[in-house]
Structure 1
Amino acid sequence: MLLVIDVGNTNITLGVFDKEELFGTFRMKTKQPRTSDEYGITLQELVERHGIESSKINAVIIASVVPDVMHSLGSAIIKYFGVKPVVVSAGIKTGIRIVTENPRQVGPDRIVDAVGAYTLYGGPTIVVDFGTATTFDVIGPDGTFEAGVIAPGIRTSAQSLWGEADMLPAIEIRKPKSILAKETITAMQAGLVYGQIGQTEYIIRRMKEESGYPNAKVVATGGLGKIIANETDMIDVYDSQLTLKGLRFIYEKNKKNK
Structure 2
Amino acid sequence: MLLLDIGNTNLRWAVHDGAQLGAVQIARHGNAIPLDVLAAWETLPAPTRIVASNVGGAAVAEALGRVTQAYWGLAPEFVSTRAEYAGVRIAYAEPSRFGVDRWLALLAAHVDNPTAAPTLIVDAGTAATFDLLLADGRHLGGLIVPGLEMMRTSLLAGTQIPRIEIEPCGMLWANDTTAAVAAGSVQAIAALAERLAERLAAETGATVRILLTGGDAPRLRAAFSQPFIEIEDLVLRGLTV
TM-score (structure 1 length as normaliser): 0.79
Which runs of no fewer than 5 residues in structure 1 stay unpaired? 250-258
How many residues in Structure 1 have an aligned counterpart in Structure 2? 237
- Per the alignment, residue 224 of structure 2 pairs with 232
Q: CA deviation at 1:200?
A: 2.1
Matched residue of 1:22: which SS?
Answer: coil
1:61 is the counterpart of 2:76: no
Choose which of 88, 110, 118 in structure 2 pairs with 1:118.
110
Q: Deviations over 1:142-167 (max 9, x none)?
A: 22223111111122112222233233
Q: Deviations over 1:160-187 (max 9, x none)?
A: 22233233223233326x4342223322
- Give distance in 1, aligned partners of 2:144 and 2:169: 23
Indicate how the Cα distance of structure 1 residues 167 and 67 shifts in structure 2: closer, same or farther if over 3 A, else same.
closer
- Give distance in 1, aligned partners of 2:4 and 2:142: 23
Q: CA deviation at 1:42?
A: 5.3
- Give distance in 2, aligned partners of 1:214 and 1:166: 46
Indicate how the Cα distance of structure 1 residues 156 and 213 shifts in structure 2: closer, same or farther if over 3 A, else same.
farther
State percent identity of aligned pairs: 25
Q: Deviations over 1:197-220 (max 9, x none)?
A: 22222232234445x354232211
- Per the alignment, residue 158 of structure 1 pairs with 152
Amino acid aligned to 1:59: R
Q: CA deviation at 1:123?
A: 4.6
Which runs of no fewer than 5 residues in structure 2 stay unpaired? none
Matched residue of 2:13: which SS?
Answer: strand
Matched residue of 1:143: which SS?
Answer: coil
Matched residue of 1:23: which SS?
Answer: coil
Amino acid aligned to 1:12: L
- Give distance in 2, aligned partners of 1:181 and 1:40: 38
Q: CA deviation at 1:40?
A: 8.8
- Give distance in 2, aligned partners of 1:66 and 1:193: 24
Matched residue of 1:15: which SS?
Answer: strand
- Per the alignment, residue 82 of structure 1 pairs with 73
Matched residue of 1:56: which SS?
Answer: coil
Amino acid aligned to 1:14: W
User: Does the CA-based 8 Å contact 2:173-2:184 persist in structure 1?
Assistant: no
Matched residue of 2:220: which SS?
Answer: helix
More divergent stretch after superposition (104-113 vs 157-166): 157-166
User: Does the CA-based 8 Å contact 1:118-1:143 persist in structure 2?
Assistant: yes
- Give distance in 2, aligned partners of 1:171 and 1:94: 43
Amino acid aligned to 1:197: A
Indicate how the Cα distance of structure 1 residues 3 and 174 shifts in structure 2: closer, same or farther if over 3 A, else same.
farther
